[in-house]
Amino acid sequence: MFENLSERLGGVFDRLTKQGALSEDDVRTALREVRVALLEADVSLPVARNFVKRVQDKATGAAVTKSVTPGQQVVKIVHDELIRTLAGDDPEPGKLRIDQVPAPILMVGLQGSGKTTTTAKLARRLTERDKKRVLMASLDTNRPAAMEQLQILGRQIGVDTLPIVPGETPVQIARRAKTQASLGGYDVYMLDTAGRLHIDAELIAQAAEVRDVANPRETLLVVDGLTGQDAVNVATEFDDKIGVTGVVLTRMDGDGRGGAALSMREVTGKPIKFVGLGEKMDALETFEPERIAGRILGMGDIVALVEKAQQTLEAEQAERMMKRFQKGQFNMNDLKSQLEQMMEMGGMESMMSMMPGMGKAAKQMADAGMDDSILRRQIALINSMTKTERANPQLLQASRKKRIAAGAGLEVSELNKLLKMQRQMGDMMKKLGKGGMLKRAMSGMF
């Protein structure tokens, strides 16, 4: 599914991820290719345009200037936006409103879209997963073969179908299905309406009449996922005239271009509930936006990619810090980030014990009753310093110390201890740096 789009975007992102830093222009160029890729995948022009614009807005500015690997951030933003568009506000794609007994489900769509197959697949799912008693009825009076097809499928999956009575109109069949469902104690009855090769007034009028009789809880539109742009027009038309509550995209097992999923969601605003993944009766799955987005991007596990980017960023920060420490530069900002990491990593003792030569100190600290509340107080003291003071702790004379301690609600004596700690840690870092031990210590810390 979505091979073409995947390959195309894959190529774009390969180039992006190989670059160190991206300018706004780079983002724009990359996104232009994303747009072409979307169009080639049969995503409708306004949808592709809107999509790219949203990504552009999110990718430029903060995200691009701050990041060390902006390419990966763009990937992430495209991915998130795909999921957002595909998911819409449907919290539970696979869930249907069948909260009344019997609950009517109306199935609509063009001929050949997979409507009858999907009706049976869904009936099977409701029977097996949700333990519902389901009755299926075909309303395709123009094509007796279609009525028989549903009957055969029903027998195959062990779901009842309404007996065929020749000469009845679709509305009469719908009424009979309703009565039969009530009398027979069915939880759900499904109406498989007639399809046409193209939408016409008669088809729509018939479906509307049936809708008025059945008053369905769900009206599911079945569309062929391979038809791309056309599928969107069909969906819009059905929704305007009949009122659709959800979409089932069939043939998502094929190697189609797959743009339908994206356009369908964006243009109609209707949730995609299920996808058909084959001809067999069990080839129906709950629509999963993450999965489809991942496949559209064709980048495997995007989360892993972004996590890797994050690690790279942290490793680079660590490297920069280490270089400064080796030169004996260890200010209050450094101390603060160390203290915060200690908090994150399970407190002072576990942190110190990871650092070479600090095992004994850790034990002493623990013995002296120094717990994490001291870390919090130390961080409060640093927060109470100005930017200049943090960068140059040697500036801290009596009056500044008083102000800082007061700001944190603590004693100057505690600030003095913090200053001593910062000096000692600075000395230690410098010494360790010379022996090459700092690198080892820091690799354990990040």
Q: Looking at beta carbons, which residue is closest to ligand GDP?
A: 276
**Of 228, 225, 193, residue with least CA distance to 208:** 193
Phi then psi dihedrals of residue 40, to 5 deg: -65, -25
Question: Does position 227 bind ligand GDP by CB under 6 A?
Answer: no
Which residues in 256-315 contact ligand GDP (CB under 6 A)? 276-279, 283
109 among annotated binding-site residues = yes
252 among annotated binding-site residues = yes
Closer residue to ligand GDP in complex, CB, 114/426:
114
Shortest distance in whole angstroms from residue 115 CB to ligand GDP: 3
111 among annotated binding-site residues = yes
Which residues in 392-431 contact ligand GDP (CB under 6 A)? none
113 among annotated binding-site residues = yes
Question: Does position 253 bind ligand GDP by CB under 6 A?
Answer: yes
Beta bridge partners of 161: 136
Which of 11, 61, 112, 269 is close enough to bind ligand GDP by CB under 6 A? 112
DSSP 88: T
Segment interacting with ligand GDP, rule: CB under 6 A, options 84-92, 109-117, 344-352, 438-446 = 109-117
Segment interacting with ligand GDP, rule: CB under 6 A, options 64-72, 112-120, 235-243, 323-331 = 112-120
Long-range contacts formed by 442-445: CB under 8 A, 24+ apart: 442/318, 442/321, 442/322, 443/318, 444/354, 444/355, 445/318, 445/341, 445/345, 445/351, 445/354, 445/355
CA distances in angstroms from 426 to 111, 338, 342, 405, 415, listed in the order given? 76, 12, 16, 22, 16
Question: Does position 170 bind ligand GDP by CB under 6 A?
Answer: no
DSSP 163: P
Which of 6, 67, 141, 250 is close enough to bind ligand GDP by CB under 6 A? 250
Give exposure, 203-215, as e/b (b: 16+ Cβ within 10 Å): bbebbeebbebbe
304 among annotated binding-site residues = no
339 among annotated binding-site residues = no
Distance CA(157)–CA(216), nearest Å, equals 23
Segment interacting with ligand GDP, rule: CB under 6 A, options 72-80, 111-119, 362-370, 426-434 = 111-119
Shortest distance in whole angstroms from residue 118 CB to ligand GDP: 6
Closer residue to ligand GDP in complex, CB, 9/249:
249
Instruction: Sheet with 272-276: list strands edge to edge.
Output: 160-161, 134-138, 188-192, 103-109, 218-224, 246-250, 272-276, 284-286
Asked whether 396 and 419 are in contact (CB, 8 A), the reply is yes
Question: Does position 195 bind ligand GDP by CB under 6 A?
Answer: yes
Burial of 409 (0-12, 13-18, 19+ CB in 10 A): exposed
**Dihedral of CA 380/383/386/388: which sign?**
positive
Which of 35, 251, 265, 377 is close enough to bind ligand GDP by CB under 6 A? 251
Contacts of 215 (CB under 8 A, 6+ apart): 104
Closer residue to ligand GDP in complex, CB, 39/283:
283
CA distances in angstroms from 250 to 46, 219, 414, listed in the order given? 23, 16, 69
Tell me the number of residues near ligand GDP by CB under 6 A. Answer: 18
**Pairing between strand 134-138 and 246-250?**
unpaired
Shortest distance in whole angstroms from residue 195 CB to ligand GDP: 5
250 among annotated binding-site residues = yes
Question: Does position 228 bind ligand GDP by CB under 6 A?
Answer: no
Which of 4, 29, 50, 111 is close enough to bind ligand GDP by CB under 6 A? 111
In 127-176, beta strands by DSSP E: 134-138, 160-161
Distance CA(427)–CA(330), nearest Å, equals 9
Closer residue to ligand GDP in complex, CB, 5/248:
248
Closer residue to ligand GDP in complex, CB, 29/111:
111
Segment interacting with ligand GDP, rule: CB under 6 A, options 20-28, 232-240, 251-259, 287-295 = 251-259
193 among annotated binding-site residues = yes
Contact residues: ligand GDP, CB under 6 A:
109, 111-117, 195, 250-251, 253-254, 276-279, 283
Binding-site annotation: residue ranges: 109-116, 192-196, 250-253
Binding-site annotation: residue ranges for GTP: 109-116, 192-196, 250-253
